[in-house]
Structures are given as C-alpha cells and as structure tokens.
C-alpha cells in the first residue's frame, strides 16, 4: 500500500512539474525583416526595435508570467524568400503571430500564407493594398500612403501650388504611391503636369528631372525608398533645379540625409512624429512613448530611434496588449488586435476595427523639413 501511495505521489509530482513547465513555455512570435539587402535601412532598425522591446517585456516578467521568444528571419527584401520563411515560422517554429515584413512587396507575397494558416500578421509596410480591402488576419503599423499623399497635397494647397510633377519608383511601394498621388490630385485642385518613373536600382535620374524642369510644375514629389530618392536629390541639385522637392515617408530617417548630403537641405516629407519628438507639445498623446522609444534605442544601439524601428516597436506592443487581453492563441490575438482602440504608439494612435486594419488617421503624420542636416517641424 505504501508503495502505491508513494508511486501515486511521484506521478502527481511529475504531472505537476510537467504542467508548470508547460505553463511557463515561451510565447513564440515570428518576425520577417529585410535586415540585409537594399531595404536594410528598414529591416535593421525594425529588428533592433523588436528585439529591444521583447527584451524589456521579458525583463519585466513577460506576459502573465510567460516570456516572449522572438524568432527573426532575414528576407533580404526578396518576396520569394519571405514566403518560404513565413511557412517556416508557421510550420516549423509554431509561432502564434508574425511581425513584418519590412516591404510592401514582401508583405503582399506573404498575405496568402498567413490567411490560409490563420496566423495574425502585423506588417511594418506602408502600401494601402496590404489592408484594403481588409484581410482577416493582416494588420499594419506603417502609416498608409493615402495619408502621406494627403499631407503633402494639403501643404501644396496651402501654398497655392496647383501644378506638380511626380517621380515614382517602379516597385510595389512606388506603384501604390503613384496610384494615390493621381487618385487624390483632383480633390485638392492639383494638376499632375509630369508623371515619370525610375527603377529601384537606377543610379542617375537626370533625364527624368530634365523633363520635369521643362514642364510647368511648381513642385516635385518623389515616391520611393533609399537609395533612389537620395540620388534624385543630388541630381536635382546638380541640375540647379529650384522647385520645391517633396519625398515620401519612405525616407523618413537620418539615413536619407546621410545619403543625400548637402542636397537634402530644404527637402520636405510627411513623417511619423518620432523624428521631431522633442519639438512636440506636452499635450501630444504620443510624446511620452516617443521620447521613451528614442531614449531606449539610443541606450541599446547608440543610434537614433527612427520612424522604421517604430513600426516594429508598435507591432510588438500591439501583440503584447492583444495577448494580455485575449490569450496566446492565434485567433484570440487576432480578435483582440481588431478590438484595439486608442493605443498611443510610435507611428500614431491606433484604433483598429472590423473594417480598418491600418488603424491610423492623417494626424499620425507631421510635415518635416531638412534644415542644417537635421529634421525640423514644418508649422
């Protein structure tokens, strides 16, 4: 009898230990970032910010006593590779959610994978087609190009400039921006008098800018991500082009200023508020989060926290809130992401819904200008 009791107690203890170990198992979050390749200026700060915030969450005790495990893969900005790695995260690593990818092209390629697997994904890319129309398991943190275009056009209208030239990169991000630039123009009384494109790997856009110089344009809007826009800025300076030059939010980091050099002076673009966090009024709902992010990133990486790293910070924090409220199942996370309201992050104040998986308004953008190799707020 004593042996039976002892055996029963041993089994009970073993089961209790196994149960405790299972309860303490980490919550696996996947991440797809373009850490290397042409889009590394996006993916590297995104990876850094995601790991930074996961480490801080774990240091504070995790989520309801469980640690987060961030599994990061480098897509290199290759859509085919992104699909392969998404499948690996889902089938081999058993993640409950995915942060990223970094680019619109990678994200669009991965969407069918996560939708089929019912795994929530919070993209760090800007293209409007990522969330319009709404996909059940796909959300995003980067501000829509729709909102960015509106911010530029509002400024041009304010300055009574009605004729513009657009120069867009021939990739997913550029095509989406071009569509919005053309689609919204009439609403703001804008006439597009020159419309040209350039390739992602082009190293000289003098020919396109020469055509624009011969048009009746009162301003030029370039839509792309580095390094192309920096090349355009330098080419414009070399040509002596004096028209106001606007860029997209795709270059809103110090990297653009470094690449463009003196040619960056005076260039304007819509950006998330993180670039000018210290200039915001105390009443701004994001200011506390922005300043904390900038300080933390500087402490961890001895570099300025930027707009792009902020996309990943927001994605992880949004997932944290969803897991706290709805548990760690993919559907529970998805449902609570969609129920998120009034989360003051780095990219803006997020409020998702069943008909809006982007979650931001045009208030997420401010207009900034390069002055003396730094960002200034355009008032």
- Classify residue 10: in a domain, yes or no: no
Classified as helix, coil or strand, 128 is helix
To 10 degrees, what angle do helices 307-326 and 287-301 make?
A: 110
Q: What is the pLDDT of residue 6?
A: 52
Beta strand spans in 124-257 (E): 138-140, 163-169, 191-198, 219-223, 245-247
- Classify residue 312: in a domain, yes or no: yes
Asked if 73 and 43 count as a contact pair (C-beta separation under 8 A), the reply is: no
Please list the residues that pair with 73 across neighbouring strands: 32
pLDDT digits (tens, 9 = 90+) for 299-329: 999 988 888 999 999 999 999 999 999 999 9
Joined together, the tokens standing for residue 59 give 């240091």
On whether both 219 and 295 belong to a single domain, the answer is: no
pLDDT digits (tens, 9 = 90+) for 14-48: 444 444 444 579 999 999 999 999 899 999 999 99
* Residue 28, φ and ψ in degrees, nearest 5: -90, 120
Q: How far is CA 176 from CA 9, 15, 232, in A?
A: 65, 55, 19
* Residue 290, φ and ψ in degrees, nearest 5: -65, -50
- Classify residue 283: in a domain, yes or no: no
Average pLDDT (270-284) is 92
On whether both 120 and 195 belong to a single domain, the answer is: no
pLDDT digits (tens, 9 = 90+) for 114-147: 999 999 999 999 989 999 999 999 999 999 999 9
pLDDT interval class at 105 (50, 70, 90): very high
Determine the structural domain holding residue 299 and report its residue range.
21-142+288-360
| Predicted TM-score of the model (pTM) | 0.85
On whether both 130 and 216 belong to a single domain, the answer is: no
Average pLDDT (72-79) is 97
On whether both 109 and 160 belong to a single domain, the answer is: no
On whether both 114 and 259 belong to a single domain, the answer is: no
How many domains are contained in the chain?
2
- Classify residue 321: in a domain, yes or no: yes
pLDDT at 189 over 50: yes
On whether both 223 and 369 belong to a single domain, the answer is: yes
Which residues make Cβ contacts (< 8 Å) with residue 203, sequence separation at least 6? Answer: 231
* Chain mean pLDDT for the chain: 93
pLDDT at 99 over 50: yes
Q: What is the pLDDT of residue 20?
A: 46
- Classify residue 279: in a domain, yes or no: no
Please list the residues that pair with 139 across neighbouring strands: 122
């Amino acid at each position: 009898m004593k042996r039976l009791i002892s055996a029963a107690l041993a089994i009970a203890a073993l089961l209790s230990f196994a149960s405790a170990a299972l309860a303490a198992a980490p919550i696996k979050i996947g991440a797809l970032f373009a850490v290397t390749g042409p889009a590394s200026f996006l993916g590297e700060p995104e990876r850094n910010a995601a790991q930074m915030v996961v480490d801080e969450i774990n240091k504070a005790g995790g989520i309801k006593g469980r640690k987060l495990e961030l599994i990061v893969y480098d897509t290199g900005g290759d859509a085919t590779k992104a699909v392969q790695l998404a499948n690996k995260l889902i089938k081999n690593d058993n993640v409950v959610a995915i942060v990223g990818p970094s680019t619109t092209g990678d994200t669009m390629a991965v969407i069918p994978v996560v939708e089929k697997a019912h795994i929530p994904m919070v993209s760090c890319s800007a293209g409007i087609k990522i969330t319009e129309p709404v996909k059940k398991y796909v959300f995003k943190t980067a501000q829509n190009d729709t909102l960015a275009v509106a911010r530029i056009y509002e400024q041009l209208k304010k300055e009574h400039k009605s004729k513009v030239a657009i120069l867009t990169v021939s990739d997913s991000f550029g095509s989406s921006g071009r569509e919005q630039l053309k689609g919204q123009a009439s609403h703001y009384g804008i006439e597009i008098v020159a419309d040209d494109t350039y390739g992602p790997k082009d190293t000289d856009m003098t020919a396109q800018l020469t055509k624009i110089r011969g048009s009746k344009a009162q301003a030029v809007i370039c839509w792309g991500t580095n390094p192309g826009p920096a090349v355009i800025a330098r080419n414009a300076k070399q040509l002596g082009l004096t028209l106001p030059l606007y860029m997209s939010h795709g270059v809103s980091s110090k990297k653009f200023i470094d690449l463009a050099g003196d040619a960056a002076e005076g260039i304007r673009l819509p950006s998330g508020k993180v670039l000018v966090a210290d200039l915001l009024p105390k009443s701004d709902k994001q200011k506390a989060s922005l300043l904390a992010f900038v300080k933390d990133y500087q402490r961890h990486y001895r570099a300025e926290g930027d707009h792009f790293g902020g996309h990943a910070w927001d994605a992880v924090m949004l997932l944290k809130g969803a897991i706290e409220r709805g548990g760690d199942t993919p559907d529970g996370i998805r449902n609570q992401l969609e129920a998120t309201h009034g989360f003051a992050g780095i990219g803006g104040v997020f409020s998702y819904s069943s008909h809006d998986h982007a979650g931001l308004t045009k208030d997420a953008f401010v207009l900034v200008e390069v002055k003396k190799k730094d960002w200034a707020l355009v008032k």
